[in-house]
Structure 1
Amino acid sequence: MAYSNHFHNGFHFDDSHAVVDNVHIRNIKNIPSFYTDPKMFSADPAHWGLRALVTTTLAIDYKLGGSLNPFYFQLSTFIWYIFLCLMMFFMYKNLLQRSIKHNTAAYIALIATAWFALHTANAETVNYIIARSDIQSTLCIVASFLIYITYPAKRKWHLYIIPAFIGVFAKETMLVLIILLFFYILLFEDDLSVVDLLKPKNFRFAFKTILKLLPLIIVIVVAQIYTLTRVTSIPGISNPASYYILTQTYVWLHYFIAFFLPMNLSADSDWSVILNIFDERIIIGIVFVIGLIITIIKTSAKKETKPIAFGLIWFAASLLPTSLAPFAEVTNDHRMLFAFVGLALSVVTYIGLLLIKFEKQIKANKEYRALIALSLLLVLGLNAYGVYQRNKIWHDEESLWHDVTIKSPLNGRGLMNYGLTQMEKGNYSVADIYFQRASQYLPYYNTLFINTAILKGAMGNPQEAEANFIKARNMSPNTFDSYVFYARWLKQVNRVDEAVQMSEKALQLNPYSLMALNILMSSYNTLGMWDKLVETSNKYLALAPGDTTALTFQQAGKTHAAIAEREAPVTGNTATTLTAANYLDQSLAYYNQQNYLKCIEACEAALKLKPDYADAYSNMGAAYNQLKQWNKGIEACQKALKIDPNHKLAKGNLAWAESESKK
């Protein structure tokens, strides 16, 4: 019920390059190549990488929907999420029954799972399609962990390694599983505490544990090295490492608080690295981390509180990968999902132990029992309500980025993206305001200059448009979008030769850019470069088989090339004989070029060869309509319908001509 309004939510943010523009997911036969070719993960070279499990499921979703239907993508992510929650329940139950000798252990596990499943912050991951990588990697970690702890007698078969191996192809967090299993063995199987680990006499336990996990370590490390060596584009470090790591202490506190108060969630935070080590936020963060470590140490000492310690270890370990590597984004709300698997266990176990301690008083007092039930319903109900509200925010680009501008007003990217939604609606003045605001925070962001250029072009300011395109190109000369959008604008203003140059440069940087190929096809068609048109349309069709526009251009190129050969001086018997279908294709090409007289001539040539050609009469009628020669258009369409009474295009053109002729 909480997620009932999320299944038709659209594509957002990185979904644009990894899903919407990614032609590789449109052919399910590409699946084997996803595991070897990082270029198939994204349409943007800056994001090429090997997350083959994610790309595989996206290709399956596309196949099931037959298109970019968000429903199938959202449904798929939701099913992965449900599987994660189911496995978490059995994992929690197993851990709790090892420590708590009470009949409420299963109920504690159920409530912890419910809190996680309905947690408002997790809606940020479930709604964000490409963020399914977090769900899939977490699912694989939980699955491996569950197999390991549930079937100790079968560990020699190493079945628990299989989900871990698969998870490597979802996200680079699988190494955390090694840490989790190490502390699980330490706390639950060797019955030691964290402090015991530091005693020299217990070093052999640590060494033996590492040996137990050695097959897992080898598989994960080797698989991880394989995925990393296949990466062709590694983003540079954009934040100073030392300050970034210190800032993460405060981020951890933020995540911890968000578990209890998931408010002010933002799809794109405006947090930045804190560059003053004496900043109160860093001091508070360090105090929190110290407190977290102390709590882990104390709770690891008693058997019944070991699940609390382990849950907190899970929370900390899950955040290490994004805390030690200086990412561009200091914080992301979808990073909480993995961490909350551990935190839900710790928090609910603590509450459960507290209630067990006062079990007699609770049983004796109905008011206490009612208060506990009400508190439980309140926590789950408020989180479910929060999920439902966040689903509304994630519905479309405008609602999402408007929320970001409110929650993260210093985020230039959020301001720019909301401006884009207004530009698409034709609210150019509003878009201009948001682009200007964004430029205060992103003075060197080439994408912002590209969007500003597009806006200026739409507003009828070609000089400003070109100036911004050139700025974008100069700021990021090795980024394909700096060229492809400039090429599109050049084609729009009939600077076709320059459009070809920019498109070819874009293709050098990204050979999978359908936009660049489309601009080239249109440009070659305008320039009459038929061999190039055929060559480019073939490249397009190799990426997007069956595309009607590319097929039309391909046929037009072949037809014109044949005509050029026929009209050239003939030596021997090399002349090409054109069919009525060839002339029909030629008429369509002329029509697309808005050369309506030539279109009519080609139709007449087709009719000489095939007098009962309804398609030729229909094309002729459409061309006469464009020339506003309505009577001739009516006559041609009527002849088409006399031959084929069900000809839809002829019916439409006839209705158009008749309505206009009466005015």
Structure 2
Amino acid sequence: MVRSELNLMRPKVPGIIGAVTLVAIIAAAYTNHFHNSFHFDDAHTLVNNAAIRELRNIPRFFSDATTFSALPSNQSYRPLVSTMLAIDYAVQGLNPLWFHLSIFLLFLALVLLLAFVIYRLIDNVWIALAAAAWYGLHPANTDTVNYVIASAEIMAALGIVASFAVYLQFPKARKYFFYALPAAVAVLAKPPAAIFAVLFVVYRLLFPNEEFCSHGPAGRQTLHRSVATTWLREVAPPLLICAAMLLFVQAMTPHTWVSGAANAHDYLITQPYVALLYFKTFFWPSDLSADFDLNPLTNINDSRFWAGVMFFAALVTMSILCSRFKQTRVISFGLLWFFIALLPTSLFPLAEVMNDHRTFIPYIGLIIALAGAASLLLRFRIAQTTTATIALSAIALLLLSVSGYATFERNAVWRTEETLWHDVTLKSPRNPRGLMNYGNTLMAKGDLTGALDYFHRALAIAPQYSVLLINLAVAEDATGQTDPAERHFQEALRLAPSSPDSYTYYARSLLARSRIAQAHALLQSALNLGPGDVTARDLLAHADALSAQPPTAESHLAASLEHYQQGRYTETIRACEAALKLKPDYAEAWNNICAAYNKLGRYADAVTACERALRYKPDFELARNNLQFARSAQQSR
């Protein structure tokens, strides 16, 4: 009896030790990511989304999908994601640490469950742990783990893997179909979680119950109908449950949501080639980019289309061949997982033809296939000799070490907006959004000349990109080019009349020029389109305050300080100039102009402004310090 209990405990001990080690090495690889900034869609779903700022809105997330984003075109139904964001925000506001911490814990849970599922498939704890470690350390997955709003992808993957784990661990409870619940709930984070139902059908085809495989030829014919009935009874409920969840999510999604695809035909014929690129990236992730510049194929005469088709044919052929033999069915299951998990983003046209975070769920399949192949090597005693075992172990350790280092380095790319978008301009130089966003980071630093250069490079590629026109107008406005700025604001409004940003940033420019009535009307329109837009709401409150009382030199000075604190130095100067029209000897206004010119690198103008400030207020210590800084900067040039 004692020996039996020891035997039961023996496989658990290495599993526990391995799981702890697995968590430790993944945590080590991600130690430099917890303070990475927000990016991409984090702006409208998190930073500027008023709905996630109060926990009392959590029930609304499940009844009103407009709470998901401040942009109507991005308002999809993802209440689980909004709930997690609201909880993280409640802890410490917009501190990225808490958002990254909660996402990372979900990621670790996913990796551990994946190790368990692989172990149940191949019955080798060390291969299962090594395979899960490779998934956890794969640099391609960093683009999902570092991207806060991509937590939806992690939740969806966690739901799928958890459903398989429940199915495998609790065979007696299968008749209640509890195993379908994790995936069904995960659909509330992202609809691709529903692909579990299809994966489960494939799994049950490849791995039928043993009792139906053990009968001799005489009994098989009698059992065929019973087998089919039993199989259908097992796979139909998950299909129905997941389909019902998809229909529910579709019904809850506002009509304002758009997928963003310009041409469905071009998108679809590009996907076989994209799948080939994803497959290549899994084994050689050298060209990871947060935003690719691959344009959709326009016809099937393109050689890339046929390369993708041949890859697809080879993948399906390999899957079928592997499915014929019991020893290779895990490989077949993994390959089919990769293909099937790509279907939601391949068949449903989206704005970008490819994106690294779309491989997060499909790559689980390739990990399973490789684990199955490694297990097969052991079964055929290829790795039974000491030399072979040491060699294979060394290769595995080297692979994990390289992957961990690459992940650590990739995390550094996501550190700030500047580091991320600079990387995009190098990896995807023909991507207008990448050029524009890097220009935005330069503008935030006060490098308006550099920003305008990148904006014009992007404009040459995408002349009707409304967001680009808005940013170009902001930069032109900041350099005193008011006429072209106004034209570009108006052009952006014409191209994207349903986008709140088209109104908000134009209104901000008008407010800086004291055109309060026009700005007020634009901000009302912005809030009608996106009631949760924090920026528009704050600007409207400012416009109301300006309308309620006649402007004074002091109110203009206060506005200049607000602009300065937000890095809008040209608007700081304009507000101070408005103050000086009312009070020409206002030393504080001259000092603020000096400080703004220092930030813009216009040191000669800064010296002139600070000298004026000291003329009117000789003991103005702050102006004296700003003047000293400007003169030192002039001399160092």
Partner of 1:189: 208
CA deviation vs aligned residue, 1:156-209 (integer Å, no higher than 9, x gap)? 23322321231011101122111111121111124799xxxxx9x968755643
242 and 211 in structure 1: CA distance in 2 versus 1, 3 angstrom threshold: farther
Q: Conserved in 1, the CA contact under 8 Å of 2:489 and 2:506?
A: yes
Letter in 2 for 1:129: V
Distance 1:184 1:391, change over 3 A: same
C-alpha displacement of 1:23: 1.3
Q: Which amino acid aligns with 2:96?
A: P
Partners in 2 of 1:71 and 1:4 — Cα distance? 11
Distance 1:127 1:203 in 2: 50
1:15 aligns with 2:37: no
In 2 relative to 1, CA 447–260 (structure 1 residues): closer, same or farther, beyond 3 Å? same
TM-score of the pair, normalised by structure 1: 0.77
Change (3 A) 1:338 1:219: same
Deviations, residues 28-70 of structure 1 (Å, cap 9, x unaligned): 1111111111011111111111111111111111112x21000
In 2: Cα distance, 1:371 partner to 1:77 partner: 36
Q: Per-residue deviation at 1:144?
A: 1.1
Residue number in structure 1 paired with 2:244: 222
Task: Map 1:65-144 to 2 at 5 A.
Answer: 66-97=92-123, 105-144=124-163
Aligned 1:191-206 pairs, distance under 5 A: 205=227
Matches within 5 A, 1:252-291: 252-291=275-314
Give 1:528's match in structure 2, choosing from 548, 553, 559: 548
Instruction: Report if the CA contact (8 A) 1:428-1:459 is conserved.
Output: yes
Kindly state the Cα deviation for residue 453 of structure 1 after the two structures are TM-superposed. 0.5
1:353 maps to what in 2? 376
In 2, the alpha carbon distance for the partners of 1:387 and 1:503 equals 43
1:438 offset after TM fit, Å? 0.6
Q: Using the alignment, how far apart are the partners of 1:190 and 1:369 within structure 2?
A: 33
Q: Deviations over 1:414-452 (max 9, x none)?
A: 000000000111111111111011112211111111001
Q: Describe the superposition over 1:244-274 as per-residue Cα deviations: whole angstroms up to 9, x where unpaired.
A: 2232111111111111111110001111211
Unaligned 5+ segments in structure 2 are 1-27, 214-220, 560-582, 589-616, 625-637
| Cα shift at 1:661 | 11
Inter-CA distance 438–159: structure 2 relative to 1 (3 Å threshold):
same
Residue from 214, 234, 237 that aligns with 2:257: 234
Which residue of 387, 410, 413 maps to 2:430?
Answer: 410
Are the aligned partners of 2:49 and 2:534 in contact in 1 as well (CA < 8 Å)?
A: no
Write the distance in 1 (CA, Å) between the matches of 2:342 and 2:385. Answer: 43
User: 1:331: which partner in 2?
Assistant: 354
Equivalent residue for 2:452, pick from 411, 423, 432 = 432
Q: What pairs with 1:151-190 in structure 2 (closer than 5 Å)? A: 151-190=170-209
Query: For each residue in 1:598-637, what CA deviation from the matched residue of structure 2 results, as whole angstroms up to 9, or x when unmatched?
Result: xxxxxxxxxxxxxxxxxxxxxxxxxx9x9669xxxxxxxx
Question: What is the rounded CA distance, in whole Å, between the counterparts of 2:310 and 2:132 in structure 1?
Answer: 29
Structure 1 residue 592, shift from structure 2 partner = 3.7
For 2:504, the equivalent position in structure 1 comes to 484
User: How has the CA–CA distance of structure 1 residues 411 and 204 changed in structure 2, closer, same or farther, with 3 Å as cutoff?
Assistant: farther
Match of 2:529 in 1: 509
Aligned length: 538
> Are residue 210 (structure 1) and residue 237 (structure 2) matched?
no
* CA shift in 2, pair 1:443/1:659, >3 Å: closer
The 8 Å contact of residues 319 and 336 in structure 2, kept in 1 or not, is answered as yes
1:452 aligned to 2:478? no
- Matched residues in 1 for 2:622 and 2:405: separation? 58
CA spacing shift, 1:88–1:501, aligned 2, 3 Å: same
Contact 2:163 2:179 in 1 (8 A): yes
Greater Rg over alpha carbons, structure? 1
Residue 317 of structure 2 is aligned with which of 269, 294, 297?
294
Residues in 2 aligned to 1:519 and 1:84: alpha-carbon distance in whole angstroms: 42
Q: Is the 8 A contact 1:247 1:274 kept in 2?
A: yes
After superposing the two structures, state which structure 1 stretch, 347-356 or 48-57, moved more. 347-356
Q: 1:212 to 1:356 in 2, by over 3 A?
A: closer
Secondary structure of the equivalent of 2:94?
coil
- Shift in alpha-carbon separation, 1:415–1:627, aligned structure 2, 3 A: closer
Task: Specify whether residues 54 and 310 from structure 1 end up closer, same or farther in structure 2 by C-alpha distance, changes over 3 A only.
Answer: same
Aligned counterpart for 2:68 among listed residues 34, 41, 44? 41
Aligned residue in 1 for 2:411: 391
Aligned residue identity for 1:88? L
Match of 2:4 in 1: none
Does structure 2 conserve the Cα–Cα contact (< 8 Å) formed by 1:243 and 1:277? no
- The secondary structure found in structure 2 opposite 1:382 is helix
Q: For the residues of structure 1 that align with 2:56 and 2:93, how far apart are their CA atoms?
A: 15
Q: Which amino acid aligns with 1:69?
A: N
What is the aligned counterpart of 2:520 among 500, 504, 527? 500
Query: Given the superposition, is the C-alpha separation of residues 69 and 310 from structure 1 closer, same or farther in structure 2, using an over 3 Å criterion?
Result: same
Match of 1:544 in 2: none
**Structure 1, unpaired ranges of 5+:** 98-104, 194-198, 531-587, 597-623, 630-655
1:539 corresponding residue in structure 2:
none
Corresponding residue number in structure 2 for 1:147:
166
- Alpha-carbon distance between aligned partners in 1 of 2:207 and 2:145, rounded to the nearest angstrom: 32
Cα 1:590–1:210 shift into 2, 3 Å: farther
Q: 1:253 to 1:627 in 2, by over 3 A?
A: closer
Q: Summarize the Cα distance change of 1:70–1:657 in structure 2 as closer, same or farther, 3 Å threshold.
A: farther
Supply the distance in 2 between the matched residues of 1:223 and 1:357 (Cα, whole angstroms). 44
**Percent identical:** 38
Residue pairs, 1:619-638, within 5 angstroms = none
Distance 1:297 1:496, change over 3 A: same
Deviation digits for residues 458-509 of structure 1, max 9, x if unmatched?
0111111111111111111222211111111000011111111211221222
Asked whether the 8 Å contact 2:192–2:344 carries over to 1, the reply is yes
> Take 2:70 and 2:483, find their aligned partners in 1: how far apart are those partners?
30
> 1:36 & 1:434 partners in 2: Cα distance?
42
Q: Which residue number in structure 2 is paired with residue 635 of structure 1?
A: none
Maintained 8 Å contact 1:419/1:430: yes
Match of 2:8 in 1: none
Using the TM superposition, give the Cα deviation of residue 75 of structure 1 relative to its aligned residue in structure 2, in angstroms: 0.8
Q: CA deviation at 1:349?
A: 1.9
Query: Distance in 1 between the 2:322 and 2:412 partners?
Result: 40
Displacement of 1:412 after TM fit?
A: 0.5
CA RMSD for the aligned pairs?
A: 2.8
Q: For residues 502-581 of structure 1, what are the structure 2 equivalents within 5 Å?
A: 502-528=522-548
Equivalent position amino acid for 1:511 in 2: P
| Amino acid in structure 1 at the alignment position of 2:127 | I
Partner of 2:565: none
State the distance in 2 between where 1:375 and 1:495 align. 67
Structure 2 counterpart of 1:619: none
* TM-score, structure 2 normalization: 0.80
CA 1:660–1:184 in structure 2 vs 1: closer, same or farther (change >3 Å)?
closer
Report the CA distance between 1:226 and its aligned residue: 1.6
- Compute the displacement of 1:135 (Å): 0.6
Greater CA drift, 219-228 or 232-241:
232-241
Contact 1:507 1:513 in 2 (8 A): yes
**3-state SS of paired residue (1:189):** coil
Distance 2:448 2:226 in 1: 69
More RCO (CA 8 Å, sep 6+): 2
CA change 1:155–1:526 in 2 (3 A) is same
